[in-house]
Amino acid sequence: MKLVTAVIKPFKLEDVRQALADTGVQGLTVTEVKGFGRQKGHTELYRGAEYSVDFVPKTKIEAAVAEDLLEAAVEAIVSAAGTGSIGDGKVFVADLQQAIRIRTGETGDQAL
């Protein structure tokens, strides 16, 4: 099992959700986050007071997937979240030791 974590542009969330669902991914957790990468922040000006906003709003998605789905899932995220411009985000893949479905007690791939 792998944990796929992706930080994407917020407006791409619906496209990514659809693409992941099409590959057979059964569940997804979404968090609104802020951060920075190569894309710089921006400045805001209120009555002459200039504030630089260094952290850009992003959406983080996390999905636990079975090994055989991994490649398709990553491909789905990359193609759905991409705009070709700076700030499209990143995908991280990590090993996942265990997963348990709370309702039934099922574990491993059965729980995903």
Residues lying near another protein in the complex (CB under 8 A) are found at: 44-49, 51, 53
Query: Taking the complex as a whole, how short is the minimal distance between the CB of residue 40 and another protein, in angstroms?
Result: 16
According to DSSP, the residues that pair with 30 across neighbouring strands are: 61
Query: Taking the complex as a whole, how short is the minimal distance between the CB of residue 36 and another protein, in angstroms?
Result: 16
Quick check: helix, strand or coil at residue 11?
A: helix
**Which one, 48 or 84, has the nearer CB to another protein?**
48
**Which one, 18 or 29, has the nearer CB to another protein?**
29
Q: Which residue has the tokens 């850009």?
A: 56
Contact predicate 78/14, CB 8 Å? no
Residue 85 one-letter amino acid: S
